[in-house]
């Protein structure tokens, strides 16, 4: 399952992913392009990226400030569940610059930037495309019979 933007908020509010969302540090709606780093390239969602790869992904939100307490942040780090981090100053205030996290099983990803807005050069780049290619590749490898 993939939740982006408000979908990430819903996954958090439903208790599927840890944390909470607060208003951006500046208390205003912001949109633009975020610089991200792939922190975990070995997930169902990121296998078509390289570890440490830098991405540019659009965002648009007022509640983009992802919050977890320090113990939860440490657990997310130790279990390699932080998938994306902000690299451009993290103007919204997210703890540990977290832009995307996994659930414990690794089959749910929530991320605040909007990869669906970065799948064609004409609409602003293709850095989001490998996320969807990873999902399709891993789904078909696990669910399609190879006769």
Phi-psi region of 127 (alpha: psi -120 to 50; beta: other; left: phi over 0): alpha
Position 54 scores a pLDDT of: 98
> For position 92, what pLDDT does the model report?
85
Identify the structural domains of the chain with CATH numbers, from first to last. Answer: 1-100 (3.40.50.880)
Residue 144 is predicted with a pLDDT of 58
User: Nearest to residue 56, comparing CAs of 109, 119, 4, 122?
Assistant: 119
pLDDT in tens, the chain (147 residues): 999 999 999 999 999 999 999 988 888 898 999 999 999 999 999 999 999 999 999 999 888 899 999 999 999 999 999 999 999 877 788 999 999 999 999 999 999 999 999 999 998 799 999 999 999 999 876 665 555
């Amino acid at each position: 399952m993939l939740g982006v933007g408000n979908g990430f908020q819903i996954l958090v509010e439903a208790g599927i992913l840890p944390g909470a969302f607060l208003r951006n540090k500046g208390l205003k709606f912001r949109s633009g392009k975020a610089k991200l780093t792939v922190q975990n390239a070995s997930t169902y969602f990121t296998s078509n990226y390289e570890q440490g790869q830098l991405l540019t992904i659009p965002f648009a939100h007022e509640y983009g400030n992802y919050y977890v307490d320090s113990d939860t942040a440490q657990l997310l780090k130790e279990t390699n569940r932080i998938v994306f981090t902000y690299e451009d100053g993290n103007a919204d205030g997210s703890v540990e610059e977290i832009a995307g996290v996994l659930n414990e099983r690794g089959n749910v990803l929530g991320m605040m930037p909007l990869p669906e807005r970065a799948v064609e050069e004409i609409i602003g780049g293709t850095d989001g495309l490998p996320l969807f290619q990873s999902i399709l590749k891993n789904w078909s490898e696990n669910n399609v019979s190879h006769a």
